Amino acid sequence: MPTNNREMSRAISNKNVLAAQFETADFDGPFLASFGRPELRGVWIVWGGSGSGKTTFTLQLCKYLAGFRRVAYDSLEQGLSLSLQKAWERVEMAEAGSNIVLLNKEQLPELRERLDKRRSPEIIIIDSLQYLDGFNKRSFQKLKNDYQDKLFVFICHDKNGNPDGKLATFIRYDAEIKIKVEGFKAFVTTRYEDPANGEGGADFIIWEQGAADYWAGQI
């Protein structure tokens, strides 16, 4: 009978599963209500249509996350442009200081080279998934496995209310936090929800007046 010489990993006991400790981010305010207290590693996904408030929300999220870790925003669609600069100013990104950097249309080989360096960003926002050349299911899994202590947030196009494309759909199922943006609201599904304490799952208002006008028109 053939034998497998690979050493089997050790099983984790029921007691040790329950006793395990994890580092979570101490979110507060609207972010706590929507996201809960998440680990800042793994994968999140954000999707929405054009004009929904997705870019503003993404930058609001970048700014907030920069209060916890170093953030790299990889703008694959817009890059450094006047429209991005205006959105940057709109969320008062200057308050994040040196804890956020813009990557100007940086593709996967350059991004991985950056992440291999010491003191590389811990949170990477990829905007958008559809503009990441040659990226597929296998390269997604390798990226996630090679950088297990980092958080990857994938921004995606919307198609009929869902992330656009098979890869985006696959990532959605994998993600710890899934965020659909529509009408200046972010609808958050989080695995870190704690309903007993009112943490996680609440809708996040991106722009109050815009949301009020949009949703009033849906009635």
Res 97: pLDDT:
97
| Both tokens assigned to 12 | 């984790």
> Can you list the domains of the chain with their CATH numbers?
32-216 (3.40.50.300)
Residue 21, pLDDT score: 86
| CA nearest to 199, candidates 177, 170, 182 | 177
Residue with tokens 């813009």: 102
Q: What is the DSSP letter of 11?
A: P
Q: How far is CA 134 from CA 32, 112, 127, 140, in A?
A: 35, 14, 15, 10
Q: How confident is the model at residue 9, as a pLDDT?
A: 82
pLDDT for position 69: 97
Least Cα distance to 205 among 68, 56, 38, 100 occurs for 56
Q: Which residues of the chain have a pLDDT value below 50?
A: none
Query: Which neighbouring-strand residues pair with 207?
Result: none
Cα separation, 207 vs 139, whole angstroms: 35
State pTM to two decimals: 0.93
What whole-number distance in Å separates Cα of residue 177 and Cα of residue 170?
13
Distance CA 192, CA 196 (A): 12
At 7 the pLDDT is 77
State pLDDT tens for residues 19-34: 988 899 999 999 999 9
